[in-house]
Every structure is written in structure tokens, then in C-alpha cells.
Structure 1
Amino acid sequence: MVEQIDITRVLFLDVETVSGQPTYGQLDENFQKLWAYKAPSALKRYGEELTEDELAASYTDKAAIFAEFGKIVCISVGAVYRDKDKQLKIRLKSFASRDEAKLLADFNEMLDQYYGDPGKYFLCGHNIKEFDVPYMCRRIVTHQQKLPALLDISGKKPWETKHLVDTMDLWKFGDRKAYVSLKLLAAVLGFPSPKDDIDGSDVGRVFWEEDDVERIAVYCEKDVLATAQLFLRYQRKPLFEDDQVFYVER
């Protein structure tokens, strides 16, 4: 199916998340209790009672991956178009902010304005079905914002969500057991790795300790570009060269 998709109708996407508070100690009492209940399963230590130090460490390490305990600090997208010479180019843009509600509102507005028809356009990301899309939807609901058409998937049948293209899912070929990283596929399929500065485990530190949203956005855009390159590999088409990649100024 992927070979039949016009890449200019695909919006490539990646999301970066952090814990909702800088540390476990800065959570209110109710959320501390809720994390104490959640943490053993997050660490795969089912039924155990964790110490305060273990709860604090686990919050730093794991809270960002749960939409109930984390938040989005960056959504980067890549839009592909053909220039006057019919050459493919990709434009990368980030919605990055310390204000999650504004970040989501701006992203949702863009999605509704330019990608409002799930029958015409696609969202593509790596592990987008298991992580990025559910996380975005949950945070949008948390802020009581309206879900854009491409994300309004609750209760939909599998054939009603064909506009969600997951590059990790495409690699599985029916194997449901394993996670395969974008970095590994870059090495296997011979396109530039997106990981040359920070990785996902550094995002919380860069946000809370260095207050560097710009650095996170740069990292996130690299993941988006790598996902687009992976998509081209699946289509057996040439990769984007440097002169085909453009960045929207933040």
C-alpha cells in the first residue's frame, strides 16, 4: 500500500515529551500517590512497594511516556511538495513551547487548515499508532481542545484509520513482538541516522535543567526527516538530499 501513496499527501510527524513536573517531589500529594500506584508497572516490578528514592528516580525516567503524568514540549512536522521542476522537497517545522496548551492549539489549527480530510491526507511517524497519536489525543482532551479530523479516531475501525501510516508497523510484516528503533532501521537501510546530539532519554534534562526548547526542536526535526527518508526507502525511491530539505524559522 505504501508504494501507492503520493508522498506530497503525507505529513510526517514526531513528538517529544517530558514529565509534567521537574521532579517527583514537586508533584502535589494526590499525584504522588497516583505515581506510587503506577510506578511498579512502569518498571515491570508488579506488586512491589517502591521506596521514596525509587519513586523519585522512576518519575524522572518514566513519567514522560505516560500522557497522564507527562506533557508535550515539541511536535515537529515535515511536509513534502514538488517545486516548479517537479523535484520533491521537504519543509520541516516545529511547534515547540513551554506552554503545552498553546503548542497543541497551534498544531491543531495547522492540521485542520491544511490536512483536514482523512480521506485525502496521511499522518506518518515511527511508532505513531502506539505512542505519538494516542499521546497527542490524550493531551488535547486534557486541555479540553477539539480533536482535529485526522486525530479524531476514538472508536474507529481499522479501515477507518488507514490515514495513519506507521513506519515501524510497516517493518513488522505481521510480527507483533518487537520494537525496532528508527536509528536501527537507518543503519540497516542505509540512510543518515537521526541521533547525533541527544536522544529521547535526554529530552527531560534538556527541558527542565537546560531550558533549551530549541535544542529539542532540532532533535525532533531530525527524527521527522529520518522518518521521511525511511518512507522513501519503503517506496524504493531516492532519498532527500541536503538541497531538498528546508526549515521553517521558529
Structure 2
Amino acid sequence: MKIRLTGLVAMALASFVGSGNAASIPGQGTWETTLQARDLDGSVANGPEAFYDSALHITWLRLGTTNTISWATAKDWAEQNRFGLGGWRLPTTIDKGLPGCDWALTGGTDCGYNPDSSVSTGSEMAHLFFETLGNKSMYVPGTINFQSGFGPSNTGGFQNLRPDGYWSGSVYETASNQAWSFSVDRGVQGPSSFNLSMSALAVRDGDVISSVPESQTYALLLVGLGLIAGVAHRRNHQ
């Protein structure tokens, strides 16, 4: 399984993401530095399959669902093994304050427009939408004023990031048939019934790749260097 990259290859992949994609907006959000491209199928030519989020310390699957699906179906989709890797899941939502929706139109809570998107106390989808991609909610943060240009203007290299609701893997605490969700079309967060049809992204804790070679790689490198030294020695004594 070819998932380990050198720093140079990783930088090349990052350049690939930022080119040829009209929906990736340079200078908007932090995506150009905090989303690090990851090649999971061993083919750099077809672009990365995932992004390591250095702010949240999770890895996002680049390709989202192609259809809208129920929460149970979204969980099954997210949790399947990919490229020989398990541990994938739906993004999490942190329930702040009292259990359930602490609605605030002006933002800053766990429910409503412009929800908390900080690293430590905000949801992963909200952080991706507002901080990483620099997108806007329907309302200006801290106000009840309408905001033009809201929605997923910047996709940052993600595929199938549509103006739609996106499932969270976090169950809504005060209802047995609801989960948290984030609406990419309006920048609003709240509970949704399990039976609704929405989109989904998959994430995985940590980075899927280490740029440090494994011991096996070191062993192969040493063998190769030994062969080269042997050939050079024979040539010098011929």
C-alpha cells in the first residue's frame, strides 16, 4: 500500500490541488497551508485522495458522497475501509452549554448561523467551512444583517462539496431520532432527523502519512547503498 510520501512529493501534491480548480480560491481561508494533500492510491498523477488538516489534526477524504443519503447510510458510508485504512467516520459536533440546541442567530454557540468554529470548542464541519475555506454564512457574524456571497464559494480542492446539508456523526442529545448537521448552503448548524437525505464527508483522526521512512524502508535503502558501494569497489580494482 503506497501511502508514504517524502516532503517533496507532498509539496507537489499540494501544488496540484491549487491548480486547475476554479472553485479553489487562493487567499480565502487557510486551506492553502492547513490542508496538506495526501496520496492514498500510489498515483500522484490523478491527484490526492485526502487532505491532512493540520489545524484539527484529522484527515479529510477529498471525495464526498455523490448522492444525498440518510444518517444511518451516511455512517455506513463514512466508516468503510478505504485504501487499506480503517478508522474513518463522520465529522463530530461539540454540544456547547446546555444539552441540545443553544440557538443564536448572531452566532458563537452550537446551534444557528455562524456557529462556533474554533479548534477546541467548535464542530469540525464548521471549522472547515468558515476557517479553512473562508466561506460565509447567510448572516454577518454577530449581527442579524443579511450577507451576500454566502455558501460554498471556495471548495479548496474537495470534490462534491455542494450547497447542501452535511451529516455529523454526533447524535443530538435531546432526541432519539436526530443527529447534528451543518448546512453548507447557509452556514447554519442544528439537529436533523435521521430520515432526512443529506450529503456527507468522511474524516479520520490524525495524519494518514508519515514522511519518516519505516524501518523496512531504511533496511532496503541500506541494502541498495551496499550494492552501489560494492559495484564501485570492484570497478576501482579492475
**Which protein shows a greater Rg?**
2
Which has more helix, going by share of residues?
Answer: 1
- Answer whether TM exceeds 0.5 for this pair: no
TM-score normalised to structure 1 length: 0.23
TM-score normalised to structure 2 length: 0.24
